[in-house]
Structure formats: structure tokens, C-alpha cells
Amino acid sequence: MNEPNGAVNEARPVQVSEGRTARKEATTLRNALLEARGVTRSFGTVQALNGVDFAIHPGEVVGLVGDNGAGKSTLLKILCGALQPSSGQLLVEGSPVVFHSPRDSRERGIEVVYQDLALATELSVLENVFLGREQRRTGILGRFGILDRNAMARDARETLDSLGIEIHDVAARCGLLSGGQRQAVAVAKAIRWGSRVLLLDEPTAALAVMEAEKIGGLVREVVKGEVGVVLVSHNLPQVHELCDRIVVLLRGSIVANLHREDTTVEEIVMWITGAARSRGN
Ligand SMILES: Nc1ncnc2c1ncn2[C@@H]1O[C@H](COP(=O)(O)OP(=O)(O)OP(=O)(O)O)[C@@H](O)[C@H]1O
Ligand SMILES: [Mg+2]
């Protein structure tokens, strides 16, 4: 079944479940916040993505799942401009765009948290939160490029506090934080700036149970507004709990687009492993 929000791939059989909430019906009538159409990407002889259609709507959390090497991170990197597709197209609210780098997608309110955590370890927490968006002092000092560190520190502190992320000192170098704390800062940064779409690649992999739940809560808060979230995770119970829609990648192709209320963790596993296809579903 083809639909405008469809993670639909012509090359393979795709399961699209029928159940909908009223809210989802409403969102599908509007342009997607961000959409990939027919996106293909190869690395040498490796075909990482093969004609992928993927869309994210306002107020929607989409889980992107698949085995190791299925193409999840490659798709996220293409959606934010960190990688270029070999062919295919990106659209923001229905208009074609070309992102030459994540700077271009950032300008459109799209923020990404990479699986391999791209925080600058030699910079402080607050410098990371404001990297590329440094606030200058007002007046003549600002015109000479003097930064307003106090304002940035206050803002970074408020951001972390509002998200319940416990970092003692926002002036501390990120390299001194634990892996989980760094992950939390990266997510906080994305939430602080991502006004349209958050692309989160394994945002809870390094987190303790409580912290992972906190991030889950944050994601649900964020999508109460107009933001859309793409969540890549191997934690399928968490994906099933958090996501409105679950898209399964198998060797670079989308094989299933499942609605949370119509599927189970067991069924998602079957799609990930390819067992669902081989059973003829
Ligand atoms: N920069 C690269 N150069 C060469 N091959 C790459 C590169 N990035 C990804 N690949 C290949 O593309 C395929 C998809 O990789 P990708 O990182 O997108 O998978 P993934 O679904 O994110 O996996 P994981 O769950 O392990 O993170 C893999 O075969 C991988 O080896
Ligand atoms: Mg990955």
C-alpha cells in the first residue's frame, strides 16, 4: 500500500498496517516535515541503501530499526546532509532540498545525534551546546566578536535542568564526562535546537536504565509540539513503547512500516531478521 508518509519500497514486499489514530490521519494530510524519496547510497561495492522512501510528520516518533549494517545510520546521515545520496531526493515540507552538510539541515531546524557521538571532547559542555551558534555580547563588544559566556552558560544550564540531566558543571570539558553523560548532552543539544526534526541514532545505548527512560520521556515531550523524531535503536521494547510507527530496514531496503498499536516486539524481530518475509507475510 502506498501512502504519502510511506516508508514504502517498490523493490520488496512491504507490510503497512492499517490501524490509525485520528491524530495520525490528520498528519498524513499535511506535508512531511522531512522526506527521502528513492534514496540510494553505495560505498564502493556495498549497497548501503536501495531506493528508500521515508518520511517524518509533525508530532510523530518513528522508530528506525534493522540489523547491524542494515543502513540505519547511513539513512540518518543522508537525512541531515552528513552524507550525500548516490541517487534520490530529500524534501522539507514538500519542497526539494539539497543538504551539502549538516549545517544546511541545521538551518532548517533538523538536528542529529550521531551513533558515534560527535561531541568535541576538548570543548566544554556549554561550548558544545552552542557550537556553531555562539552568542555574542550586545553592543560594541559583540561587534568585536566577544562571546556572551554568561548567557550561554545560563541557557545551557537551563536546558540541562529542564531535561533533568545532571551535569554538575557546564564549563567542564566534555572529555571528562562519562559516555552516558556525553550522550545526554548530545541529546540535550539536539532538543535545544531541533525545531523541526530530531534524528537520534542510538541515543540511549550508553545510558543506564533510568537515564534511558528519561530520554524516552523527553522524546514524548518534544513531539507534543510540531517536532518529529526519528529514533534508531536496537532496544526493541523501548522502540515499541515510544514510537508511533516502526520502519524496518533489511539490507538497505525498507521491508515493513508498522503502526505501534498493530504490532508486537516479536513481529518486529521477525521483520528485522527476514523471517516475516520468508513466512510469506
Ligand atoms: N563510510 C563508509 N564506508 C564504507 N562502507 C560504509 C560506510 N558507512 C557505512 N558503510 C556500510 O554500509 C552498510 C550500512 O551501514 P550503516 O552504518 O548504515 O548500518 P546500521 O544499520 O547503522 O548498523 P548498526 O546497527 O551496526 O549501527 C554497512 O555494510 C556498512 O559497512
Ligand atoms: Mg548505525
Q: What is the number of alpha carbons within 13 Å of residue 239 lying toward its C-beta?
A: 30
d(C-alpha 99, C-alpha 80), whole Å: 7
pLDDT tens-place string over residues 142-185? 777 777 788 888 988 988 888 888 888 999 898 888 888 888 88
Mutate to test the pocket of ligand 1, among 42, 46, 239 (most ligand atoms within 8 A of CB): 46
Q: In this structure, which ligand is nearest to the CA of 77?
A: 1
Q: Tell me if 25 sits within 8 A of 77, measured CB to CB.
A: no
Residue nearest to atom 24 of ligand 1 (CA): 68
Query: Which ligand 1 atom is nearest residue 74's CA?
Result: 18
Q: Which residues of 83-94 are buried (b: 16+ CB within 10 A; e: fewer)?
A: bebeebebbbee
For residues 173 and 277, what is the distance between their CA atoms, to the nearest angstrom?
48
Q: Nearest Cα to 207, choosing from 269, 110, 117, 72?
A: 117
C-alpha cell at 149: 559566556
Q: Which residues line ligand 1 (CB under 6 A)?
A: 43, 46, 48, 66, 68-74, 115
Q: For every one of its 281 residues, what pLDDT tens digit does the chain have, with 9 covering 90 and above?
A: 334 444 443 344 455 444 444 444 444 556 899 999 999 999 999 999 999 999 999 999 999 999 999 999 999 999 999 999 999 999 999 999 999 999 999 999 999 988 876 688 889 998 888 887 777 777 877 777 777 788 888 988 988 888 888 888 999 898 888 888 888 888 888 888 888 999 999 887 777 777 778 778 878 877 787 899 999 999 999 999 999 999 999 999 999 999 999 999 999 999 999 988 754 44
Cα 218 from Cα 164, distance rounded (Å): 9
Q: Which residue's CA is the closest to the ligand 1 atom numbered 19? A: 69
pLDDT value for 131: 82
What is the pLDDT at residue 152? 86
Q: 269 CA to middle of ligand 1, Å?
A: 20
Ligand nearest to the CA of 75: 1
Q: How far is the CA of 135 from the centre of ligand 1 (A)?
A: 36
**Residue type at position 109:** G
Tell me the whole-structure pTM to 2 decimals.
0.84
Distance 116 CA to ligand 1 centre (A): 12
Residue ID of nearest Cα to ligand 1 atom 31: 69
Taking the CA of residue 75 as reference, the ligand 1 atom at the shortest distance is 18
- For 4-24, give one letter per residue: b (16+ CB within 10 A) or e: bbbbbbeeeebbbbeeeeeeb
Residue nearest to atom 27 of ligand 1 (CA): 68
Among 39, 41, 42, 43, which is best to mutate for testing ligand 1, by the most ligand atoms less than 8 A from CB? 43
